[in-house]
Structure formats: structure tokens, C-alpha cells
Structure 1
Amino acid sequence: MALTAVNSKKDNQSTQSEEVLVYNTKNCNLWYGDHHALKNINLEIKEKDVTAIIGPSGCGKSTYIKTLNRMIDLVPGVKTNGSIEYRGRDIFNKDFLVEELRTRVGMVFQKPNPFPKSIYENIAFGLKIHGIKNKQIINETVEKSLRGAALWDEVKDRIHEPAYGLSGGQQQRLCIARCLALEPDVILMDEPTSALDPVSTLKIEELIQELKEQYSIIIVTHNMQQAARISDKTAFFLNGEVVEFDATDTIFNNPADSRTNDYISGRFG
């Protein structure tokens, strides 16, 4: 597993087109039983962008991001129609194995969820599950992943100690490193800083800006200032619909829809 090879492939794709899409959602609907949670979602998400998804609680933000790597499959009674294409392939197609999708599309959750293992084994675990047994490759990947998550210098002298000994912010960066170890193409983040203090939040935001050089990042956030700081594009969700999707600067300074302006102005939500 070579990060350089994957990154070289991504660089080649970027030079071929300025508008390469990682995701193209077309008329996607999702129901939890009788509850219509996502309504005719249409979104084109470009590679190596940071795409923020904002909106009030219950508007469908987390449902949408979990649908992008089919984590929603784990919820009983869910049904969908429409399509979500990942690099031109419909993720709902029976020929697209969910294991392949989740390897290429990593997920970082709201609360840090390190395994009850050492820092080292948190990173190595996924590699071993995927059949990597060469200790040198594992060691190199562990270090590269921790460096990629800006954590190596802080933990290199205690790498075999329990991950639960890390601070909350460090645990979240460890979870990002664990994601990077499998060399994803896309990183989904569901409110990754909502449980963190301001200093840790700043470190994660700085890390996101570094990671966008190599990865496409889609982040759900309740923090509109955060969306404004770190994202290239912003989608505003309301009542299961996409009200507006545009360049972040446009969304925050010249929104086309009055509902977007009301939300970012704090009139509701």
C-alpha cells in the first residue's frame, strides 16, 4: 500500500480536468419508514474541495453524509431512490461492494472513537484486516498516517501506550490517522470538532486545510464560522432539502435564497 501511488493517481486525475467530481447526487430521496428524510437531493461535489454541509438540527445533514458511504444501510427500515454516483459509479448498484466503498470513503465521527488498543494498534488494525502482514509496511504506514494527521511528534515516544490516554483532540486526530492509513479518496467528517475545546478545534481545522491537498473532504458542521473558515463550497440543508449550494463566500455574503440568509443571520436554527 503506497500513499504516493494513490496521490499520483489523484494528481493525474486533477490535471485531466478542473471539474472532476467525486460525488454526483441525482434526485436522491431517503425514508426512515414513513419519514421522508432526504428530498430530491442534487449535489455535485468536486474532488479536493472541502465541502461543508450546514443547517439546523434534523435537516438531513448527517443522514446525507452517512448515505455517501452507505452507513445508512445499517439502519432498519431505510429505503432510497434516485442515485449517488461516486466517480461515475452508482453506490446503490449491487455490483458496487459496500466494503470497497467504505475503504475508499473514510468516515470521522462527531465523538472520537479510538479502539481500546494502543495508539499503534489503532492504526495497524485496519491494515491487518485488509491482509497487510509485512511489519515494515505496517510500521511505515503507521508513521505516515500519524504524520498526516499532525500527531506523530506528540505520540512517537508512547506509540504503544493506550489510545485512551490521549486528550480528546488527540484522539480525534488519531481517528483521522486511522482513516488515512487505508488511503481513502474521500474523507467524510460528521461534526468532528463539536466535542472539542477551541485549541483542539483549531488544530483540526488547520489539519483539514492540509489534507485537502490530497483528499476530498465533506464536513457536516453546526458551526457556521467554521464552515466559512475552512470550506470551498457550502450546501445549506433545510427540512431534508438542499436550499442552496454554492461557493462558500457566496453563501455567506450574497446568498440567493432568503432562507439561507435568515439561517446564517441567526434568525432561526
Structure 2
Amino acid sequence: MNLTKHDHDIAKTQKLHTTSTQSSIFQINDLNLWYGSDQALKRVSMNIPENGVTAIIGPSGCGKSTFLKTLNRMVELVPTVKTSGTITYHDVDIFSSKTNLVELRSAIGMVFQKPNPFPKSIFDNVAFGPRTHGIKNKKKLRPIVEESLKQAALWEEVKDRLHTSALSLSGGQQQRLCIARCLAVSPEVILMDEPTSALDPASTAKVEELINNLKKKYSIIIVTHNMQQAHRISDKTAFFLNGEVVEFEDSVQMFSRPSDQRTDDYINGRFG
């Protein structure tokens, strides 16, 4: 078989992606994903390190959000999705028929682009997850709600109005509430899909500060279109293009000395 330069480049970068001395929370090997006949992810192989922040960057339509939602199998809510390859989480294949999706999605939480609080009180929003896991006693729920709001840097702002509607909060507060709701079920991984794109600069700064605090305890994987944000808050960055991982490297190195010209062009605004 004659390999093109493109094939050699893919093989080279995939070898780099899977070589790491740091403990990995996810090992992704030769992941492909299709929406019907359209392939959205192509031969993705990378090890995502445990703890810290991993940023996923790339132009619109390159597969970033699809990849993120594949990590807890939320992408399968689209009926036409099919996959090949493997994703292991703590050395367990998440695509196995034995995988409990409720447990998987509790361990790997998700925060979406736009804040999506439930039309309930602030307390009931945070307590929603624990209640679905069988904790009904308010005396047991209250410390969970309080600790989750403290971790989300929201407690001091809402502690006197826990039983008012979550919809009365500002956009930035609503996003931190959604993070608190995610934390309430004690996840290990937090997936964030452009969590600050709908927020003003002040609210964005608060969420970024929160992410920097949370990364000491959680593994955070964030999709962002903001190159400055990726540079500020992430430890490692993956650059996706046309469904492939072009480069996956320590963020300091990627944003100062990218190894692929396509990465350099993208982060310096020459396309995308």
C-alpha cells in the first residue's frame, strides 16, 4: 500500500498523541464517528491526562463538540450516530454494552454553551441530581447544595435566596449554577462546551477563575473558540480540523511553538 504524505503525518501525530508519562483519564484509540453517511470524527487517537484542563480548539464544524459529547456518550442521543474505535475511561471501554449510562454521565458531567437552569428554585436546581440518585432528606441535601454552590463560587451571592427562582439569576450566575448542579453528583470529569460564549467579560472572568480552582480536583475538558481563553486556562490543548486531531500538546508550547503549520495559521487568525 502506498501511503501519502497526509497518511504519514496522521500516523506521526497519532503516535505523539498517545505517548504520555502523565496518568490518563481517557485513552482514545482510532475513534471514528458518523452522523448517517457524514463522517464527523476521523481516526482520533489521544490520551487525555487526569486532572487539569484540556482545551479543544478548532474552526466551526471541525468535530470539537461532537468529540466532547462522545466522551459520555451523549452524542448517541442523535439516532443516526455510529462509531468505531475505542474510548477507555479508567481502563473500561465506555462503548461496552455493560456500561451503565446513568453512572457514566454522573461521573462525566456536562456544562453546555448556554446556561440551562431548570424553572425551579436555586436549591432545587442543585438538589436535582442527588434526588434522582435517591437522596430525598432535606437535612442531607442541604450540605450537598451548600458545598456545590461554594465550589461553584456562587454561595455568597445566593445563600439568602435559595428558594427563589433560578431564572432570576444573571447569565453568569446561571452558568455557575449549572456548574454547581453538575458538581452536586460528585463527578470526576467536567465537560464544558463553550461555557462562556454567551457571557459578558466580567462573568467570563469569574467562570475562568472557577475553572482554575476546580482543576485541582477535577479533570476538565473545555471546547472554546477563544484562543486567549484556551491559552489562559488550559494545561494541554488539542487542535481539531476536519474531524482530525492535527496537534495535541502542552498549551504553553502549542501557543508559542506549534509543530504544525495549520495550527500556527489557526491560532494566529489566518483561517477559521
On whether the aligned pair clears a TM of 0.5, the verdict is yes
* Cα distance in 2 between the residues matched to 1:94 and 1:101: 12
Following TM superposition, by how much is the alpha carbon of 1:97 offset from its aligned partner in structure 2, in angstroms?
1.1
Q: One-letter code of the match for 1:162? A: S
User: Which residue, 192, 195, 198 being the options, matches 1:192?
Assistant: 195
* Cα distance in 1 between the residues matched to 2:267 and 2:183: 32
2:181 is aligned to 178
Structure 2, unaligned runs of 5 or more: 1-20
Following TM superposition, by how much is the alpha carbon of 1:76 offset from its aligned partner in structure 2, in angstroms?
1.4
* Structure 1: 4+ residue segments shifted above 6 A: none
Following TM superposition, by how much is the alpha carbon of 1:155 offset from its aligned partner in structure 2, in angstroms?
0.3
* Cα distance in 2 between the residues matched to 1:146 and 1:60: 32
Deviations 1:135-163 (A, max 9, x none): 22200000000000000000001110000
1:248 is aligned to 251
Structure 1, unaligned runs of 5 or more: 1-17
1:201 is aligned to 204
Following TM superposition, by how much is the alpha carbon of 1:134 offset from its aligned partner in structure 2, in angstroms?
2.5
Following TM superposition, by how much is the alpha carbon of 1:81 offset from its aligned partner in structure 2, in angstroms?
0.3
2:115 is aligned to 112
* Cα distance in 2 between the residues matched to 1:121 and 1:133: 11
Deviations 1:41-81 (A, max 9, x none): 01101111200000000000000000000001100111000
Following TM superposition, by how much is the alpha carbon of 1:254 offset from its aligned partner in structure 2, in angstroms?
0.4
Does 2:43 correspond to 1:40?
yes
Three-state SS of the structure 2 residue aligned to 1:262 is helix
* Cα distance in 1 between the residues matched to 2:30 and 2:119: 41
Normalised TM-score (structure 2)? 0.92
Following TM superposition, by how much is the alpha carbon of 1:207 offset from its aligned partner in structure 2, in angstroms?
0.2
2:8 is aligned to none
1:127 is aligned to 130
Three-state SS of the structure 2 residue aligned to 1:158 is coil
* 1:22-171 equivalent positions in 2, closer than 5 A: 22-171=25-174
Q: One-letter code of the match for 1:207? A: L
**Identity across aligned pairs (percent)?**
65
2:264 is aligned to 261
1:7 is aligned to none
User: Which residue, 233, 239, 242 being the options, matches 2:236?
Assistant: 233
Q: One-letter code of the match for 2:50? A: E
Aligned-pair RMSD on alpha carbons?
A: 1.0
Normalised TM-score (structure 1)? 0.93
* Cα distance in 2 between the residues matched to 1:19 and 1:256: 21
* Cα distance in 1 between the residues matched to 2:24 and 2:185: 21
Q: One-letter code of the match for 1:266? A: G
* Cα distance in 2 between the residues matched to 1:258 and 1:226: 21
Following TM superposition, by how much is the alpha carbon of 1:19 offset from its aligned partner in structure 2, in angstroms?
2.1
Q: One-letter code of the match for 1:80? A: T
* Cα distance in 1 between the residues matched to 2:67 and 2:56: 9
Following TM superposition, by how much is the alpha carbon of 1:100 offset from its aligned partner in structure 2, in angstroms?
1.0
Three-state SS of the structure 1 residue aligned to 2:160 is helix
Between Structure 1 and Structure 2, how many residues are aligned? Answer: 253
Deviations 1:166-199 (A, max 9, x none): 0000000000000000000000000000000000
* Cα distance in 2 between the residues matched to 1:106 and 1:140: 20
2:220 is aligned to 217
* Cα distance in 2 between the residues matched to 1:194 and 1:24: 28
Q: One-letter code of the match for 1:45? A: I
Three-state SS of the structure 1 residue aligned to 2:46 is strand
Q: One-letter code of the match for 1:40? A: R
* Cα distance in 1 between the residues matched to 2:102 and 2:22: 27
